[in-house]
Amino acid sequence: MRGLSGTTLTLADDFAPPAREAWLKLVEKTLKDQSFEEALVRQTPDGIAIQPLYTSDSAPTVVRDLRARDADRPWDLRMALAHPDPRQAGAEGLKDLENGAASLLVAIDPTGRDGVAIGSADDLAKVLDGVLLDLAPVALDAGYLGPKAADWLGALAKAAPNAPLAFHMDPLTAFARTGASPGPIESHIVSAATVGARLAQTYAKASLFLATGRAAHEAGGSNTEELAVMAASALAYAKALVRTGLPMEEAFSRIVVGVTVDAEYFTGVAKIRAAREIWARTTSACGVNVPAKIEARSSQRMLAKADAWTNLLRLTSAGFAAAVGGADAVVLGTFTDAIGLPTAFARRQARNTQLILMEESHLGRVADPAGGAWYIDTLTDQLAQAAWGGFQAIEGAGGIVKALETGLVASAVNATREAQAAAYADKSRKILGVTVFPNADDKRPEVAQVDPAAFAVAGPDVRLPGPDSACPALAPMRFAAAFEEA
């Protein structure tokens, strides 16, 4: 700084360079009988130590996301449709698009229990009636119906080559979640890749596969376990596409990476950035340079039935993490998802949460806003390194299919889930509105009252020739459930 005389004053020269050892002595003096590690160092479920102070000396170099983002629409605000009635789901989707959403995610389940009751192209047409498919991206979540649903969506797009479709075929997540496949799981991967390669010839901008470790997350797994499954799934799908004749670079460019974000926003930011780093390392090892396309979805396991209004806080934190982490598309669930199907009010809250983060908080106006933060860069690197080790273990076991079938993934996820459940039980980790600050006057919000059986349809047979595959199922769970049912 300059003094009144115009001379430059170097105030820092009067102070010795800060030393960590001196700082530690002051900290230990303040802590008295407590140790530094016990009082100030926190362990994540991944076994990563979170320090109270980070400096430039320990900050690693990580992959930065320096894309110029659209100042008005920095990410794709994607709304999920899951009402069993195709026409009601379609009406909700149109309202979402009219009120700020940019794209739709259609969950498909012919029974209507876990998605829209769709069993044919005509049923899907009812949902997307009025949606301009060449302008509004439409993504699918169809499990083993993925290849057939992709063909339905491709037919509805009427060969518009620039339609930004997201077929999101993902048989591995269906296999991991249910623990079984109708026919060999390898055949389902091949079938999806074959359909995807054919559709890629018509739709130049379409993505074909969604590679995600969401099943591991929702079953109680750690961030690194989720990322490891994500990376192994991406590699399996890329190999399948290459076997159909697609060049390696195009194969990776047709895959979307899925990451789950919860209420721990610092970890969520680091996880998305770690996913980008893992993707860069994987593609580089395959001899190509393809930027990651990341879809972030909010966690279901973090939601609570008790005092469900607190879910609004959790979802806002998840949306913040997705935006700051640089996700390309963000899907926030509704705050009533743990109770039942959302009303129009709950859907509006899900939309507006993202709109406020985007248009009022301006979270997308800075490229990689967490970059340069020593804590976030360090955590990003730690997550990426640990997840890469898990990815190597999966590949060493023979790939993601073998790792699921042998229980390698399930055993790791189960151990992590039990450790996290124990932490919630002894209140070293807390659930707002459930284990701490419970609301005695809790009034459960309204949900849509629907009988899924009334809309169930006969879906096509998804069985493929050959023996069924099986693996220990990664069943979805919620940590709050243990305390709400007690």
Residue 3 CB-half CA count within 13 A: 6
Cβ neighbors of 415 (< 8 A, separation 6 or more) are none
Task: Return the pLDDT at 245.
Answer: 97
| Spatial separation of the C-alpha atoms in residues 370 and 417, rounded to whole Å | 29
Residue with tokens 């339905």: 152
At 290 the three-state DSSP class reads coil
At 8 the three-state DSSP class reads strand
Task: Return the pLDDT at 474.
Answer: 98
Angstrom CA distances, 132 to 82, 126, 238, 300, 319, stand at 20, 13, 29, 30, 26
39 falls in which pLDDT band (50, 70, 90)? confident
Task: Tell how far CA 379 is from the center of its chain.
Answer: 18
Mean pLDDT, range 209-225, rounded to an integer: 98
Task: Return the pLDDT at 485.
Answer: 63
Mean pLDDT, range 210-219, rounded to an integer: 98
| Spatial separation of the C-alpha atoms in residues 292 and 296, rounded to whole Å | 12
Q: Is the pLDDT of residue 406 over 60?
A: yes
Name which of 264, 246, 327 is nearest 78 in CA terms: 327
Mean pLDDT, range 284-305, rounded to an integer: 97
Task: Spell out the domains of the chain, with CATH numbers in brackets.
Answer: 76-260+272-291+393-406 (3.20.20.240)
| Spatial separation of the C-alpha atoms in residues 294 and 36, rounded to whole Å | 38
Q: Residue 338, Cβ neighbours under 10 Å: how many? A: 21
**In the structure encoding, which two tokens stand for residue 403, read together?**
């790792």
**In the structure encoding, which two tokens stand for residue 4, read together?**
């009144």
| Spatial separation of the C-alpha atoms in residues 394 and 14, rounded to whole Å | 55
Q: Which range, of 29-33, 218-222, 481-485, averages the lowest pLDDT?
A: 29-33
Name which of 54, 73, 158, 136 is nearest 370 in CA terms: 54
109 falls in which pLDDT band (50, 70, 90)? very high
Q: Express each pLDDT in 49-84 by its tens digit.
A: 888 888 887 778 887 777 778 878 999 999 999 999
Residue 362 CB-half CA count within 13 A: 3
Question: What φ, ψ does residue 244 adopt, rounded to 5°?
Answer: -80, -10
Q: Is the pLDDT of residue 1 over 80?
A: no
Q: 155 versus 68: which is more confidently predicted?
A: 155
Task: Return the pLDDT at 163.
Answer: 94
Q: Residue 204, Cβ neighbours under 10 Å: how many? A: 10
40 falls in which pLDDT band (50, 70, 90)? confident
Is 127:86 a contact under the CB 8 Å cutoff? yes
Percent of the chain with pLDDT over 70: 98
Mean pLDDT of the residues in the chain: 93
Q: 22 versus 103: which is more confidently predicted?
A: 103
Q: Residue 359, Cβ neighbours under 10 Å: how many? A: 15
Is 323:431 a contact under the CB 8 Å cutoff? no
Q: Express each pLDDT in 156-199 by its tens digit.
A: 999 889 999 999 999 999 999 999 999 999 999 999 999 999 99
Mean pLDDT, range 296-312, rounded to an integer: 97
CA 354, 358, 359, 362 torsion-angle sign: positive
Mean pLDDT, range 84-104, rounded to an integer: 97
| Spatial separation of the C-alpha atoms in residues 2 and 165, rounded to whole Å | 58
Cβ neighbors of 388 (< 8 A, separation 6 or more) are 228, 231, 278, 281
Task: Return the pLDDT at 327.
Answer: 97
Is 350:297 a contact under the CB 8 Å cutoff? no
389-395, Cβ contacts within 8 angstroms, sequence gap of 24 or more: 389/224, 389/228, 390/224, 390/225, 390/227, 390/228, 390/229, 391/227, 391/228, 391/231, 391/232, 391/278, 393/228, 394/228, 394/229, 394/232, 395/232, 395/235
Task: Give the burial class of 418: count Cβ atoms within 10 A of its Cβ; 0-12 exposed, 13-18 middle, 19 or more buried.
Answer: exposed
Percent of the chain with pLDDT over 90: 79
At 451 the three-state DSSP class reads coil
451 falls in which pLDDT band (50, 70, 90)? very high
Cβ neighbors of 423 (< 8 A, separation 6 or more) are 429
**In the structure encoding, which two tokens stand for residue 223, read together?**
């961030």
Q: Is the pLDDT of residue 381 over 60?
A: yes
Task: Return the pLDDT at 15.
Answer: 76
Angle among Cα 93, 360, 269 to the nearest 5 degrees reads 80
Question: What φ, ψ does residue 258 adopt, rounded to 5°?
Answer: -105, 130
Task: Return the pLDDT at 20.
Answer: 81
Mean pLDDT, range 137-153, rounded to an integer: 98
Radius of gyration of the chain (CA): 24
Task: Return the pLDDT at 7.
Answer: 66
Task: Give the burial class of 97: count Cβ atoms within 10 A of its Cβ; 0-12 exposed, 13-18 middle, 19 or more buried.
Answer: buried
